[in-house]
Chain A
Amino acid sequence: MFENITIGQYYQTRSPLHSLDPRVKLTGTLLYIISLFIVNCAAGYLLAALFLVCMIRLSHVPFRYIVRGMRAILFLLAITMLFNMFLTPGQVLWQAGPLHLTREGLTFAVKMAFRLTFLILGSSLMTLTTTPTQLTDAMESLMRPLKVLHVPVHEIAMMMSIALRFIPILMEEADKIMKAQMARCAEFDSKHLMKKIKSMVPLLVPLFVSAFRRANDLAMAMEARCYRGGEGRTRMNPLIYRTRDWIAYGVVFGFMAAAIALRVFSASLPFPLNL
Chain B
Amino acid sequence: MGLKIEDISFTYETGTAMQVRALNHISCEIPDDRFIGLIGHTGSGKSTLVQMLNGLLKPTQGRILFNGEDIHGDGYDRKNLRAKVGLVFQYPEHQLFEADVLSDVMFGPRNLGLSEEECRKRASESLFMVGMGERFFKKSPFDLSGGEKRRAAIAGVLAMHPQILILDEPTAGLDPRGRDEILGLISEMKKKLRMTIVLVSHSMDDVARYVDQIMVMNNGKLVYNDVPSEVFRHHKELETMGLSAPQVIYIMEYLKERGLPVNTEVLDIQSAADSIMACMGPAGRGRS
Stretch of A88-96, A202-210, A233-241 contacting B (4+ beta carbons < 8 Å): A202-210
| Residues of B with C-beta under 8 A to A11 | 16-17
Neighbour of A210 across the interface among B51, B86, B92, B94, CB < 8 A: B94
- Tell me if B56 and A179 are in contact (CB < 8 A): yes
Tell whether, in the assembled complex, residue B97 and residue A206 are in contact, meaning their CB atoms are under 8 Å apart.
Answer: yes
A184/B157 in contact, CB under 8 A: yes
Q: Which residue of A lies closest to B12 (CB)?
A: A3
Cβ-closest chain A residue relative to B80: A185
The CA-CA distance from A202 to B97 in the complex, in Å, is 6
| Cβ of B156 under 8 Å from chain A | yes
Are B56 and A184 within 8 A (Cβ)? no
Residues on B with beta carbons closer than 8 Å to the beta carbon of A177: 94-95
Query: Contacts of A65 on B, CB cut-off 8 Å?
Result: 15-16
> What 0/1 readout, one digit per residue, does chain B (139-165) give for beta carbons within 8 Å of chain A?
000100000000000001100100000
Q: Which of A161-215 contact B (CB under 8 A)?
A: 176-177, 179-187, 201-202, 205-206, 209-210
Stretch at the interface among B106-114, B175-183, B209-217: B106-114
**Please, how many residues of chain A have a CB less than 8 angstroms from a CB on the other chain?**
24
A141 at the interface (CB under 8 A from B): no
Q: Which of A43-66 contact B (CB under 8 A)?
A: 62, 64-65
> A13 at the A/B interface (Cβ < 8 Å)?
yes
Partner of B111, one of A176, A185, A206, A210: A185
For the complex, what is the distance from the CA of A115 to the CA of B225, rounded to whole Å? Answer: 57
CB-defined interface of B1-43 with A at 8 Å, one 1/0 digit per residue?
Answer: 0000000000001011110000000000000000000000000
What are 26 A-B pairs at a CB distance below 8 A? A11-B16, A12-B17, A12-B18, A13-B17, A62-B15, A64-B15, A65-B15, A65-B16, A176-B89, A177-B94, A180-B89, A180-B95, A183-B54, A183-B56, A183-B86, A183-B157, A184-B82, A184-B95, A184-B108, A184-B111, A184-B157, A185-B108, A187-B79, A202-B95, A205-B97, A210-B94
Q: Which residues of A contact B (CB under 8 A)?
A: 3, 11-13, 62, 64-65, 176-177, 179-187, 201-202, 205-206, 209-210
In the A-B complex, the 3 residue pairs with the smallest Cβ-Cβ separation, listed nearest first, are A205-B97, A185-B111, A180-B95
